[in-house]
Chain A
Amino acid sequence: MLKIKRVPTVVSNYQKDESADESVGCGRNCLGACCINGARLPLYACKKLDKSGVGEKPVAFLESLVLGEWEDRFQRGLFRYDVTACETKVIPGKYGFVAQLNEGRHLKKRPTEFRVDKVLQSFDGNKFNFTKVGQEELLFQFEAGEDGEVQFFPCMPLDAENSPSVVAINVSPIEYGHVLLIPRVLDCLPQRIDHKSLLLALHMAAEAANPYFRLGYNSLGAFATINHLHFQAYYLAMPFPLEKAPSKKMVTTASGVKISELLSYPVRSLLFEGGSSMQDLSDTVSDACVCLQNNNIPFNILIADCGRQIFLMPQCYAEKQALGEVSPEVLETQVNPAVWEISGHMVLKRKEDYEGASEENAWRLLAEASLSEERFKEVNALIFEAIGCSYQEEELEGTVVEQDNPSGSVNQKSNRTHGGPITNGTASECLVLQ
């Protein structure tokens, strides 16, 4: 049995190890049956129709709601630290990776067991989940509306019958405004993508109407910390390196969704955009994710450009780590390449890592998470089959592909393919001690 020590990120003030028992009448004002009666939150129901607006506009209603409620919790001291007091900088280089020195993010070192080799795992009510957060950590309910207009209700009861979705704070924020979108929180869905939930996330990105507000998703095995379906989001008013990477179109689906692969980026990724509607785009990506989940391939998702661009990044870092194949220097930084890191935003725990942060280091770290070229092609084939479109790789003459890679080859140890489906359950149980 392979074990790795890992330190969890605490996202709620009530996150404990699961050995704490569920006492009756917990007195924590959580979302469990013990406390939920009488719970009230503002409700924001967004427009049903697709938005076709252009670019940044005056601060939108949803943005005011998120920022206003977040600032309220900020001033009430609900966060574990003041993230704005953490020094941050753009690393000089072509891509502009963003580094932050945050020594306080990973303080709790109690080990918890969390399987890293299975993307699909059942919800376990005994472990920490979002029904156990205190209600003060919730900001508002968020729904995909039925009407053509935004509807806002400042004080709406939380009704289990309606299967409410909520937005909560992340008490260990990466940046100001870091929130969690928890679809149908009371339904206790495990961390896996389904069509309805991804569409809700896209709606939120579109409603925020700010290209600097992105949503991210980590599957199990790709550094999700809690097995209860959630997306993350925050504001960073500059482009992520991932968003700047050039791309090459591969196919356009029947519903008009354009799928491209990223060029010269340390993590091999797909970019989905277009589609005749937001639903088309969302469904195509969901189909791809379901395919990855069923094949036990961990992945991350970044929703960018107000929901117009969705990046899909399959990865294999955790498996590499369990097999002892990650280089020691990279391991020492204790940086787990989750969606924000892969997008180019690195939170560093040690001052020396921050001072010495360079584009080469960032590249080298992220490259460890990437699938090899061969494996990426295999995975793409699976995805295209699942989506129902065919892709023949063209050998275009004179197609110049930029290989501007400062660290040399992307995957030095690339003889072996990583991240394949683990078919033999008994031989390869990978446990990661948290």
Chain B
Amino acid sequence: MSITQSSASLFTTATEEKEGAFSARYSLWIKEALDELPHSFTITDPFISGHPIVFASPGFLKMTGYSREEVIGRNGRAFQGPKTNRRSIMEIREAIREERPVQVSILNYRKSGSPFWMLFHMIPVFGNDDGRVIHFVAVQVPISGRKMRNGSGCSEMVFGSCRREVCLGSYVHQERALPVECDEQELENWEHCEASESEKLKSVEAVGNVLSVLTRYSEFAGRLVCGKRSCLRVADCLSSSLVISLGRIKQSFVLTNPCLPDMPVVYASDAFLTLTGYKRHEVLGQNCRFLSGVDTDSSVLYEMKECILKGKPCTVQILNYSNRKDKSTFWNLLHISPVRNASGKTAYFVGVQMEASCKDIESKELRPETRQLSVVGAVRVAVRSSFMVTC
């Protein structure tokens, strides 16, 4: 199932890119080592916009019927469907937001569209050096038992199988029911499907195995990961939940931290990197002045600095220098504004870039000014809520 063809399809390239990003964190042969595990599991990266799957085990692909290319880059919600319990979806979402483990039974759908119940067990994986969540590992254990917590039909099932045992004149230890032929409609209508103790133990074992491989290969790479956060997150590093929220915003923007020396960039959106032609690692930790150049008007820079000191929003038109192939300059209609967190104090400044040539109004779209402000608003909501995470 490995991608060896040198196909020029965009799809394959995107998959390779994401898998490459995953492998980069660990030493060589990490994928092969993970491929050897028998379990069904996926690994996701919260620092990529959309929180996509960056690794899917052969067991997962077999269970769901998808190919690797169809899975890499998708968010885990893609396997949920209309009858998936909303409460379970919320539990998983909240565990991600709070960067903690979760184990929940949930209804998922295969590629064929057929539903199945499984025990979903997810854990965060932390970087040892900076304390942030590097990945989430999610293990899926199919539930074949037929125990249900509440709702009708529970007693019928139990009686049915017991009666059969009695008729056959033999006693079968009923830890889990025989495979019951029930149609998919019934499966979807179950309120809940409790996993057996052995299934729960399986999930714990699987999670442990995956974590062992990741730990070992991260150690080789000199950038250890572990299942427990070993240090408080460093100041210029955002929580994964904040990053996930910011990843929903498709426009170009950065967050800078005014409390750190020289007010460095602590977040840059994908669109910013595309606009400016820089790579993320070139930008993080730097002050935004790398975008200015010889012909950038210094009085505009002064105006920005004044607004930042006063803690006021401002919009300026500034000449920026890109790192794109042609090293072109562009006029940037830049809006900056202080952003407060849950303490009520300013935690960041947001800078929203808009290439001046994009100012033409399309009649069926939001005005560019509104779109620019909507980025500020979305950032405010994300930042204010991210600090209210319970531990």
Contacts and interface: CB of A to CB of B under 8 A. Distances in A.
Interface of A: 52, 54-59, 61, 63-72, 74-75, 82, 84-90, 92, 96, 98, 151-152, 154, 175-177, 211-212, 235-239, 243-244, 248-249, 273, 305, 308-309, 396, 399
Contact of A237 (B89, B339, B382): B382
Given A69-B370, A90-B388, A308 B378 contact: no
Interface of B: 50, 75, 77-78, 80-82, 86, 89-90, 93-94, 97, 150-151, 191, 245, 248-250, 313, 337, 339-340, 342-344, 361, 363-367, 369-374, 376-378, 380-382, 384-386, 388-390
A309 B371 CA distance: 30
Contact of B248 (A58, A92, A154): A58
A235 B342 contact: no
Contact of B344 (A52, A55, A84, A237): A84
A85 B385 contact: no
B381 A68 contact: no
A308 B390 CA distance: 26
A390 B374 CA distance: 47
A91 to B, nearest CB: 9
Contacts of A66: 377
Contact of B250 (A58, A67, A98, A154): A58
Given A87-B343, A249-B191, A55 B93 contact: yes
Contacts of A85: 340, 344
B344 A239 contact: no
A70 B370 CA distance: 9
B370 A64 contact: yes
Given A176-B380, A236-B385, A59 B374 contact: yes
Contact of A71 (B77, B363, B374, B382): B374
B77 A176 contact: no
B342 A87 contact: yes
Contacts of B361: 154
B373 A68 contact: yes
A177 B377 CA distance: 8
A54 B371 contact: no
B361 to A, nearest CB: 8
Nearest to B383: A84
Contact of B378 (A57, A63, A72, A86): A63
Contacts of B382: 237
8 contacts: A64-B370, A65-B374, A68-B377, A72-B369, A86-B344, A92-B390, A176-B380, A211-B93
B335 to A, nearest CB: 10
List the 6 closest A-B pairs by CB distance, nearest first: A67-B377, A68-B374, A237-B385, A68-B370, A64-B374, A71-B373
Nearest to B388: A90
Contacts of B384: 84, 88, 175-176, 237
Contacts of A151: 364
B35 to A, nearest CB: 28
A401 B372 CA distance: 50
A85 B340 CA distance: 7
B342 A88 contact: yes
Contacts of A92: 390
B90 to A, nearest CB: 6
Given A87-B342, A239-B94, A59 B249 contact: yes
Contacts of A249: 150-151, 191
A283 to B, nearest CB: 20
A362 to B, nearest CB: 14
A78 to B, nearest CB: 14
Given A237-B381, A238-B385, A239-B90, 7 more contacts: A61-B366, A89-B388, A152-B365, A152-B366, A176-B377, A237-B385, A308-B86
Contacts of B343: 87
A55 B388 contact: no
A65 B80 contact: no
Nearest to A309: B86
Contacts of B90: 211, 239, 243-244, 305
B245 A237 contact: yes
Contact of B82 (A52, A55, A56, A244): A52
A212 B381 CA distance: 10
Nearest to A258: B191
Interface centre among B342, B364, B365, B369 (most CB of A within 10 A): B342
Contacts of B340: 82, 84-85
A152 B376 contact: no
Nearest to A154: B367
B248 A238 contact: no
A74 B151 CA distance: 49
Contacts of A75: 313, 337, 373
A72 B380 contact: no
B374 A67 contact: yes
Interface centre among B77, B90, B339, B364 (most CB of A within 10 A): B90
A265 to B, nearest CB: 14
A369 to B, nearest CB: 24
A237 B248 CA distance: 13
A59 B248 contact: yes
B342 A89 contact: yes
A244 B384 CA distance: 21
A243 B380 CA distance: 23
Interface centre among B75, B89, B339, B390 (most CB of A within 10 A): B390
A71 B390 contact: no
Contacts of B385: 212, 235-238
A66 B373 CA distance: 10
A60 B78 CA distance: 18
A89 B389 CA distance: 9
A399 B377 CA distance: 46
A64 B381 contact: no
Nearest to B362: A154
A308 B343 CA distance: 32
Nearest to A92: B390
Contact of A88 (B75, B381, B388): B388
Contacts of A399: 150
Given A54-B77, A88-B342, A176-B384, A152 B86 contact: no
A193 B351 CA distance: 43
B366 A68 contact: yes
B377 A65 contact: no
A194 B369 CA distance: 37
Given A86-B344, A152-B365, A236-B385, A54 B373 contact: no
